């Protein structure tokens, strides 16, 4: 419906709502795996790749970090904060322990399955939000 001045107020509101929530944000697929053997880090992998298709789901509360050049270096620099953020949402833990001839060995694997995140770089900060 047109207003008296010829504008379409509903159209303007809809465009502002859509552009305001997605402007400047990119979507990435991020996966993480940490393997410890006998309480020592044996392997750590962080996979970051741009999403090829738009992700579906609801945005979770964001994490804000001071940004580096790339998302990978930002996440590596703030590994503890990002690990805590991942643990809030879902994290798989697998633990194996063996004892042979009075010697105990353990292997623990922490896995965050690959998930979609919305990332926005602005004014030296990166805002990262999981899309569930």
What's this model's pTM, rounded to 2 decimal places? 0.73
In which band, very low, low, confident or very high, does the pLDDT at 113 lie, cut at 50, 70 and 90?
very high
In which band, very low, low, confident or very high, does the pLDDT at 20 lie, cut at 50, 70 and 90?
very low
Q: Over 80: is that where the pLDDT of 18 sits?
A: no
> For 29-82, how does the pLDDT look when each residue is reduced to its tens digit (9 = 90+)?
999 999 999 989 999 999 999 999 999 999 999 999 998 888 999 999 998 999
How confident is the model at residue 17, as a pLDDT? 35
State the average pLDDT over residues 86-90: 87
In which band, very low, low, confident or very high, does the pLDDT at 16 lie, cut at 50, 70 and 90?
very low
Say if CB 41 and CB 18 are below 8 A apart: no
Contacts of 2 (CB under 8 A, 6+ apart): 8
Sign of the Cα torsion 9, 11, 12, 14 reads positive
Rounded percentage of the chain residues whose pLDDT exceeds 90: 64
Which residues are 94's β-sheet partners? 109
């Amino acid at each position: 419906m047109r207003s008296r001045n010829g504008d379409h107020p509903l159209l303007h509101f809809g465009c502002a709502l859509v552009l305001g929530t997605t402007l400047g944000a990119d979507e990435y697929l991020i996966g993480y795996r940490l393997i410890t053997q006998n309480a020592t880090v044996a392997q750590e992998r962080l996979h970051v790749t741009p999403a090829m298709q738009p992700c579906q789901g609801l945005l979770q509360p964001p994490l804000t970090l001071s940004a580096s050049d790339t998302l990978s270096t930002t996440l590596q620099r703030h590994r503890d904060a990002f690990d805590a953020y991942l643990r809030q949402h879902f994290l798989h833990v697998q633990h194996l322990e063996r004892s042979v001839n009075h010697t105990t060995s353990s292997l623990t694997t922490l896995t965050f399955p690959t998930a979609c995140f919305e990332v926005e770089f602005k004014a030296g900060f990166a805002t990262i939000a999981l899309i569930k």
